[in-house]
Amino acid sequence: MRLFLLECKRVFTSRMAIGAMTFSLIVSLFLSFSMINGIKITDRDINTLYKGVAALDYARAIAAPNEGEMTPEKLIAMNDLYVVIENKYGVGDMKNVPEEIYQEKIRPIRDFINVPGLVYKSTETGMTIPPKERTSEMLTHFYIARDAALPDFIRDKYTHDAEKINAVMEINTKLQTPFYYASTLGWNDALENIGFVILLLAFAIVLVTSSVFSSDYQTDADAIQRTTKKGRLPLGLSKIGTSLLFAVVSYFFCIGLMTAIFMYFCGTEGLRASVQVVEPMCIAPMTFGDLLKALLMSGLLTILAITAFSLLVSSRTKTPVVSLIISVAMILAPTVIVLISMGDMANWIRLCLPSGGLGVMGTIYYEIMAYVNILKIGTVTIWSPNVVLVAPIVLIPILIIFTLRSYIKFQN
Amino acid sequence: MELTIRNITKDYGNKRAVDHVSMKISSGVWGLLGANGAGKTTLMRMIAGILKPTDGEVCYNNVNIINLGEAYRGRFSYLPQTFGFYPEFNVQDYLEYIACLKGLNRHETKGKIEQFLDIMGLRDVRKKKIKKLSGGMQRRVGIAQALLNDPEILVLDEPTSGLDPGERVYFRNILSEFSKDRIVMISTHIVSDVEYIAAQNAIMKDGRIIAVGKTDDLVTQIQGKVFEGVVSSGMYEGFEQTVCVVNMKNIDQERVAVRYVADVPMTQNSRSVYPRLEDLYLWIFRDTTEGRGGLS
């Protein structure tokens, strides 16, 4: 324990660690506040009405009366209200509705109109059936209609793969209906930003951890340490433990701070909303709060996995620069793979990497909200977010064991 | 207390760095002499357990050091040629860290650090970052860390490289004092570092130990072959090409005093002198750069 504490003192007070942590904190704060400041509520001519914190407050205020379950009754009532206003101004086109009326009456119910809009589409044209043509009968069975539309929605992706379509439908059965409505303004961007900062944090952490062993090999400090009583297994464990602790502390500082800022400014109401309020065809049985938890958990596990990977590389290379280059390449690998291919094999490789939950478009947020990726192994199908969460849990202990083995057996 | 090296060999690919070396090392200071590339560092790193021999074994009191593991490392200390340290450490932090690695408890650590800060003259710089110390002071820290656990076996690889003569003498004296009832092994190509303090010397060439023994015994190999004489300045260049010159000194513009090793006297005025370890070293390594006068 004393060795671990001394190692912590050494690592946490090193210039590199302080620099990396300071940089990550500044970036986290900058991105949080610039995102909040960039949020706008505009009129239909895209003139800014509210900006930043004011926009978030306004969005929450107008959504508050309607917060709750998106029951068929509510959908019908909102649709009727929409149609009445549309008809009042003549031609069945929102363009004729005065801006004040639009902001006052339509904006608060817009999500109740848009969500069914993605489900009810003309079988002939594929176009959205307009609200005035949506009957009470249709909206009463909205959730059944949504489930029925799902296979068509994913058919393009899985043309001939019945097993994958079945897997999607199976996951979809776990959805809680009615969906829960609350203002989600800001949260979508917040989750994307958190994912991006996790990526930057990974770079900062490997900058420190990729030199943990290799730097000692290079300076020959390792020769002195290795020949001491506790210089092998206990020191190896201390170095690994300290590096992982550094990763965890950095993560909690930066991502914890960001999350707190977003919760304070975007409000916690949005976390109660079903993700389907934003992506109606999303199959994830989750609220935004669940999505945030999944992102935070996946981010932490991925950060630990990439830290463990960088330690393994460090334990096997004699120069910190080489170790850093390999670790950085691993961080970038998922982003490169996404750009090259989204095929089954590419997805397996990407998600099973230690950096599987990292990337410009590679966090669990995208796996849940943007892609419907069902991966197959033999006849078994796995939903990609599960791979993102499970892969690092499997990888971390394996990487640690290999690092330890590699360090103990290293000959310099 | 005996360190036994049994027929150890170390290969790096096709290159053999240490070639079937066998030695029995008992307490006292041992000088491991050899030119650069002779295999001294590789041999020491195998004794330290850092490198695994390709063949053979190193035993301490007849038990293989690999099997002894922690028990061996608890009695052992090593100072490599390059003293690597963490730049963020000051002297005291570093010694605390190494003391912990050596298994000393808090109380022992405090006492030992105070003791070696005094012995090594480091008290005034205890809070100074090691990277800001001079080379000599850094070496002192290196020696201090090596002595913290009161080792039975102390292995020092080129411990005086880069030091001025005063500091070299200082280290020699400390090591000489420390070596009672301990094995102290010093690898060097600077003969004077071990000549006066080593109880035994081993001379290494091309990965092999070619001579082992006390200084006086070793130098008998060249008894009657070491001469001092005077040659003219004009002839010196040719003289140096053919004879193993240990030392030369210009007497005046026309004459040069030389000390050399040869089977027979090479000048009329040569007289036989008592050989020193340095003479033997240069005689053995006369075909290398160091043997041709590159000696420090």
Same domain, B82 and B186: yes
Helical pair A142-155 and A72-88, crossing angle rounded to 10 deg = 90
Q: In this predicted structure, what is the pLDDT of residue A125?
A: 81
CB contact under 8 A, B86 and A6: no
Same domain, A336 and A275: yes
> Which of B218, B243, B271 represents a domain boundary (last residue)?
B218
Where would I find the H helices in B65-131? Answer: 65-68, 70-73, 91-101, 106-119
Phi, psi of A118 (to 5 degrees): -80, -15
Task: For the beta carbon of residue A332, count every other beta carbon within 10 angstroms.
Answer: 17
Q: How far is the first Cα of chain A from the last one, in angstroms, to the nearest whole number?
A: 27
B49 interfaces chain A, CB cutoff of 8 Å: yes
- The residue of chain A nearest to residue B87, with distances taken between CA atoms, is A14
Same domain, B19 and B119: yes
Tell me the per-residue pLDDT of B152-189, one tens digit each, with 9 for 90 and over: 999 999 888 777 788 888 888 888 888 888 999 999 87
In a domain, A49, yes or no: no
Regarding whether A322 and A204 lie in a shared domain, the answer is yes
Q: Locate B201 and state its tokens.
A: 């010397």
Closest by CA position to A59, among listed A259, A258, A265, A289:
A265
In a domain, A46, yes or no: no
Same structural domain, B201 and B246: no
Question: How big is the A-B interface in CB pairs under 8 Å?
Answer: 86
| Chain A residues near residue B86 by CB distance under 8 angstroms | 10, 14, 221
pLDDT > 50? residue B295: no
Inform me whether the C-beta atom of residue B243 falls under 8 Å from chain A C-beta atoms.
no
Domain identity same for B253 and B169: no
B190 — pLDDT class (breaks 50, 70, 90)? confident
Task: Judge if A386 and A246 occupy the same domain.
Answer: yes
Instruction: List, in sequence order, every residue forming a beta bridge with A51; answer none if it has no partner.
Output: A40
Q: Which residue of A has its CA nearest to B71?
A: A229
* B221 three-class SS: helix
Tens of pLDDT along chain A (412 residues) come to 899 999 999 999 899 999 999 999 999 999 999 999 999 988 887 888 899 999 999 999 999 999 999 999 999 999 999 988 888 886 656 677 888 888 888 889 989 998 998 888 887 787 888 888 899 999 999 999 999 888 877 776 665 678 888 888 889 899 988 999 999 999 989 999 999 999 999 999 999 999 999 999 999 999 999 999 999 999 999 999 999 999 999 999 999 999 999 999 999 999 999 999 998 888 999 999 999 999 999 999 999 999 999 999 999 999 999 999 999 999 999 999 988 887 888 889 999 999 998 987 778 988 888 877 888 888 888 999 999 999 999 999 999 999 999 999 998 8
CA distances from B65 to A310, B6, B12, B21 (A): 31, 12, 22, 16
Q: Are residues A33 and A125 in the same domain?
A: no
Note whether A102 and A248 are same-domain residues: no
The tokens for B92 are 């005291």
Compute chain A's Rg from CA coordinates: 25
Q: Which residue has the tokens 């961007």?
A: A189
Edge-to-edge strands of the sheet including B200-205? B76-79, B153-157, B183-188, B28-34, B200-205, B208-213
Please tell me which of the candidates A9, A13, A224 has its beta carbon nearest to residue B80: A224
CATH number at B86 reads: 3.40.50.300
| B273 interface with A at CB cutoff 8 Å | no
DSSP code, position B129: B
Pairing of strands B28-34, B55-60: unpaired
Confidence check on the interface: ipTM exceeds 0.90, yes or no: no
Cα(B101)–Cα(B105) distance, integer angstroms: 10
State which of A88, A122, A140 marks the end of a domain: A140
Task: Say if residue B134 is in the same domain as residue B14.
Answer: yes
**Model confidence pLDDT, tens digit, residues B212-252:** 998 888 888 888 999 999 998 888 888 888 888 988 899 88
Strands A68-69 and A48-51, by their bridges, are unpaired
Distance from CA of B279 to the nearest CA of A (A): 33
Residues 121-160 in B contacting A (C-alpha not used; CB under 8 Å): 145-146, 149
Give CA–CA dist B15/B17, Å, rounded: 6
Are residues A248 and A332 located together in one domain of the fold? yes
Q: In what order do the strands lie in the sheet with B55-60?
A: B15-26, B2-12, B55-60, B63-64
Name the nearest CA neighbour of A49 among A38, A40, A60: A40
Q: Which is nearest to A251 in space by CA: A99, A92, A357? A: A357
Q: Are A226 and A364 found together in one domain? A: yes
Please give the average per-residue pLDDT across B79-88, as a whole number. Answer: 87
Q: Which one-letter amino acid corresponds to residue B255?
A: R
Domain identity same for B167 and B138: yes
* Same domain? A75 vs A32: no
Q: How far apart are CA A315 and CA A411, in angstroms?
A: 11
Degrees, nearest 5: CA angle B88-B91-B92: 105
pLDDT of residue A156: 66
> Across-strand partners of B6?
B57
What's the gap in Å between the CA of B163 and the closest CA on chain A? 19
A375 sits in which H/E element: strand A374-377
For residue A42, being part of any structural domain is answered with no
Q: Is residue A347 part of a domain?
A: yes
Range of the domain at B75: 2-218
pLDDT at B294 over 50: no
| Interchain CB distance below 8 Å, A230 and B80 | no
pLDDT tens profile B24-50: 999 889 999 888 888 999 999 999 999
Beta strand B55-60 pairing with B208-213:
unpaired
Bigger pLDDT: B145 or B240? B145
Q: Which helix (H) or strand (E) is B227 found in, with range?
A: strand B226-232
- Binary contact (A230, B88; C-beta < 8 A): no
Residue A56 in any domain: the answer is no
Contact (CB, 8 A) for B188 and B32: yes
Q: Are residues B257 and B209 in the same domain?
A: no
The reply to whether residue B103 touches residue A225, judged by beta carbons under 8 angstroms, is no
From CA A271, how far away is CA A249, in angstroms rounded? Answer: 25
**Cα three-residue angle A181-A184-A188, rounded to 5 degrees:** 135
Whether A114 has its CB under 8 Å from any CB of chain B: the answer is no
Q: Are residues A118 and A195 in the same domain?
A: no
Q: Which residue has tokens 């897997």?
A: A167
Does A219 lie in the same domain as A345?
A: yes
Whether A224 and B97 lie within 8 Å, measured CB to CB: no
**Choosing among A228, A318, A410, which should be mutated to test the B contact, i.e. which has the most B CBs within 10 A?**
A228
Strands B28-34 vs B200-205: parallel, antiparallel or unpaired: parallel
> In terms of residue numbers, what domain contains A21?
2-37+183-409
pLDDT band at B296 (very low <50, low <70, confident <90, very high): very low
Our measurement of the distance from residue A181's CA atom to the centroid of its chain's CA atoms, rounded to an integer in Å, reads: 20
Domain shared by A115 and A263, yes or no: no
Q: Assess A19–B contact: CB distance below 8 Å, yes or no.
A: no
What is d(CA A320, CA A216) in angstroms, rounded to the nearest whole number? 9
- Name beta bridge partners: B213: B201
Do B50 and A227 lie within an 8 Å CB cutoff?
Answer: yes
* Mean pLDDT rounded to a whole number for chain B: 88
Sort B186 into a burial class: Cβ within 10 Å, 0-12 / 13-18 / 19+.
buried
Give yes or no: residues B150 and B163 share one domain: yes
- Could you give the strand order of the β-sheet that contains B271-272, starting from the edge strand earlier in sequence? B244-250, B255-261, B226-232, B271-272
